[in-house]
Structure 1
Amino acid sequence: MTKAIRWIRKNTVLCIALLAAAATSFFVPPDRVYLSYFDFKTLTCLFCVLAVVCALRNIRFFYALAEKIVRRFKTARMCVLALVYITFAGSMLIANDMALLTFLPLGYLVLSCSGTEKYMAFTFIMQNIAANLGGMLTPFGNPQNLYLYSKFNIPTGEFTMIMLLPFAVSVLLITVCCLFVRAEPISIPDSRTVLSPGRTVLYLLLFALSIVIVFRFIPYYIGLIVIPVVLLVADRKALKAVDYPLLLTFAAFFVFAGNMSRIPAVRELFAYLLSKDTLLFSVLSCQLISNVPSAVLLSQFTSNYQELLVGVNIGGVGTLISSLASLITFREYCKHYPGQTRRYLALFSLFNFGFLAALTGLMLVFL
């Protein structure tokens, strides 16, 4: 019983997705059309990226890379900036949730060992915002981008141009916030992470293959064959570590969104609301059901992918549930500071709603 409760707590969003899919199946009984709900290309691309990232994490590749970057900086301000920028850049390459799982522990290690724990909550929150907003520039930077990029067949150049303005503003806002950290001198423990050259090269080649698949240069089924086979030989633990609940969550929301789109009253309501303001409605939707479900659901009712894409990305900041990745940061902080939950949530809300207001206001004017 205890294990079941722990599993439900750990996979709350998956449980909600399964319940939502089950509930809508009463209105739309299962039939052959259900098979058309699933975007197998998106699921395959997501699996490939997650699997290779897990392999790279297992050899501590990202940790070693971050170590070298952070070690170059000698003040608290520059150290916080480095940690946040690493997370920002990481989210563009390995997705927001993986970036947080990789770099939050590094942030804790660096700040706790350098005597600057007073900046821990701020740094975690900035890393969280950086992960959620940094991934917006690339199709594989977060799950909702990968889904929309695939569903609407958005040209890569157009995708980048759509997201360039909110991305640039996000970089500016994050930088300005981090500059308020005092430039106190710090020293970081002298420890080195040694990488295996052979495995590093192999996994980087697999990562390159994953990216090529995402950009549609080769068929996605090739990655589904090559990557699991190689990892079965090289690192089975990486395949076990893949976030399968995330993949199942996507599958459940595909069913939920597909069923919702077949209910006439729902279809008319959503089509009406999205026709009024796709950007604003998608941002608000993220605050209630998070950005990934919003992307899957709302994509059934609009062809305005430009505003939908921007909305589900900037909508990733705001409430604690606006992005599933934010829960990762919250859990990590509470693990180290269980008595400071209220303080963290207050600071989290202050910065997140500030970013949300600034970005939404800007994009309503310029998009």
Structure 2
Amino acid sequence: MKLLAWLKREPVLAAAWALALISAIFVPPDAAYVDYLDTRTLALLFCLMAVMAALQGAGLFHRAGEWLLRRTGTSRQLEAALIFLCFFASMLVTNDVALITFVPFALEALGMAGLTRRAIPVVTMQTIAANLGSMATPIGNPQNLYLYSRYHLGAGTFFTVTLPYVALSALLLALFVILQKPRPIQAPAFSGGLSYGKARFGVQAALFALCLCAVARVLNVWIAVAAVLVGMLLADRRALLRVDYALLFTFAGFFVFIGNLGRMEAFSDFLRGVLAGREVPVSIAASQVLSNVPAALLLSGFTEDAVSLVIGTNLGGLGTLIASMASLISFKRISLALPEARGRYLAYFTLANLAFLAALCALWWILR
């Protein structure tokens, strides 16, 4: 019963392994299954999630947000700070961590400033900001990390591809803020400090630097894994319990499914034919139904056009509520804080996402 309850909370994980098991009927397990797993990507994900869990638990991101909000004097400045916190933080700490940290923070800050009525547009824009800001770096979201590792992309290539979309996203978010009427407010007051001492914080900062070196292939990934495990055991064992292991097992399930599909010649040829020359629109469409991380995992098995997959799966995070699983974090927070506003939030969220998606697709059409 506990297993069933857990799987209900992790529908993407359940779907990944259901597909893996079904595909195993047609491709019985053998020694080749071992080669399906992209262990480098799984190891990098584990390292980054462990370090982010430790830094988040220490209150680092919350304190950074407080420092910024103390410098706001109008409602427009407050909204800009809350939205761009997510935009820039997601580039380093992933879109999920940015939203887990700053959406509750925003709801609290807006309430203190007497601006609860602005929760729906602000949280919507925070979500869009996190999803699009995370496009900027290889570690910004799971699909970027996977595609960067899977296709051995260089940093120069990656940034050349993503920065035009990130720049337009920043301009659109800034336009949203500028169009809001500024009202004087008293900056929200918070209390509390970091739960880490300087030494423990230094350990986590060093581990994060090692993770970045491993992503850049300057350091062997297994050295990074060993360092993170030892560092966490010494500095913050509980952070290891906060790692999203469900995401790691979801990746593993999709790796098995994709590996088996690749050995089913008829289906493999069909999917390659559908994708050929249409990687961006197909990955955007697939993301609306599967969400962008599973879409990246699935489609990467049938095309070598890494650049188009990076663009398509990142733009594909806009649209439906499940296009990016990170968007569900915001929806759950709004549902808890303002249950009567769920319907209005979903309507506003969908319209805003479609508007951003249309603008970014237009940019892709111009640049292609």
Q: TM-score range by the shorter chain?
A: over 0.9
> Which is further off, 124-133 or 273-282?
273-282
Task: For 1:9 and 1:77, locate their aligned partners in 2 and report how far apart those are by CA, in whole Å.
Answer: 40
In 1, Cα distance between equivalents of 2:85 and 2:190: 19
Letter in 2 for 1:157: G
Q: Which residue of 1 aligns with 2:360?
A: 359
CA distance in 2, matches of 1:352, 1:108: 20
RMSD, aligned α-carbons: 1.3
Q: Deviations over 1:177-220 (max 9, x none)?
A: 22233211112343343223222222111111111111111000
Question: Where does residue 227 of structure 1 map in the other structure?
Answer: 228
Distance in 2 (alpha carbons) for counterparts of 1:283 and 1:302: 15
User: What is the alpha-carbon distance in structure 2 between the residues aligned to residue 264 and residue 365 of structure 1?
Assistant: 35
Structure 2 letter corresponding to 1:286: S
CA distance in 1, matches of 2:296, 2:150: 10
**In 1, are the aligned partners of 2:203 and 2:231 still within 8 Å (CA)?**
no
Shift of 1:329: 1.0
Q: How many residues align?
A: 366
Choose 243-252 or 10-19, whichever is displaced more.
10-19
CA–CA distance in structure 2, aligned partners of residues 63 and 276 of structure 1? 44
Q: Which amino acid aligns with 2:105?
A: L
Q: For each residue in 1:38-77, what CA deviation from the matched residue of structure 2 results, as whole angstroms up to 9, or x when unmatched?
A: 1111111111111001111111011101110121111111
Could you tell me how far apart the structure 2 residues matched to 1:121 and 1:138 are?
A: 27
Distance in structure 1 (CA, Å) of the matches to 2:340 and 2:190? 30
Q: Distance in 2 between matches of 1:263 and 1:82?
A: 50
Instruction: Tell me which residue corresponds to 1:335.
Output: 336
1:155-174 paired onto structure 2 within 5 Å: 155-174=154-173
The question of whether the paired residues in 1 share the 8 Å contact of 2:48 and 2:211 is answered with yes
Of the structure 1 ranges 265-274 and 240-249, higher mean CA displacement relative to structure 2 is found in: 265-274
Counterparts of 2:188 and 2:130, CA distance in 1: 26
Cα shift readout 1:3-51 (whole Å, capped 9, x = no counterpart): 5564233211111111111111112111111111111111111111110
Q: Which residue number in structure 2 is paired with residue 205 of structure 1?
A: 206
In the alignment, is the contact (CA less than 8 A) between 2:69 and 2:188 conserved in 1?
Answer: no
Q: How does 1:112-123 map to 2 (within 5 A)?
A: 112-123=111-122
Matched with 2:82 is: 83
Letter in 2 for 1:295: A
Deviation at 1:348, TM superposition (A): 0.7
Which residue is 2:190 aligned to? 191
Whether 1:140 aligns to 2:143 is no
* CA positional deviation for 1:248: 0.8
Conserved? CA contact 1:292–1:323, under 8 Å: yes
Greater shift in the superposed pair: 132-141 or 180-189: 180-189
Aligned to 1:278: 279
Residue matched to 1:128: 127
Paired position in structure 2 for 1:245: 246
Q: Quick check: 1:88–1:134 contact (8 Å CA) kept in 2?
A: yes
Maintained 8 Å contact 1:17/1:249: yes
1:64 aligns with 2:66: no
Shift of 1:292: 0.7
Instruction: Specify the code of the residue in structure 2 equivalent to 1:160.
Output: F
Gaps of 5+ in 2: none
Following the alignment from structure 1 to structure 2, what is the Cα–Cα distance between the partners of residues 201 and 307? 38
What per-residue deviation string (whole Å, max 9, x for no partner) do you get for residues 93-128 of structure 1? 011111111111111111111110111111111111
Q: Name the aligned partner's letter for residue 84 of structure 2.
A: Y
| Partner of residue 7, structure 1 | 6
Other-structure match for 1:345: 346
CA distance in 2, matches of 1:116, 1:180: 16
Within a 5 Å distance, the mapping from 1:314-333 to structure 2 comes to 314-333=315-334
- The code of the aligned residue for 2:221 comes to Y
8 Å contact from structure 1 (residues 64, 192) kept in 2: no
Looking at structure 1, the residues matched to 55 and 129 of structure 2 have their Cα atoms a distance apart, in angstroms, of 21
Q: Percent identity?
A: 41
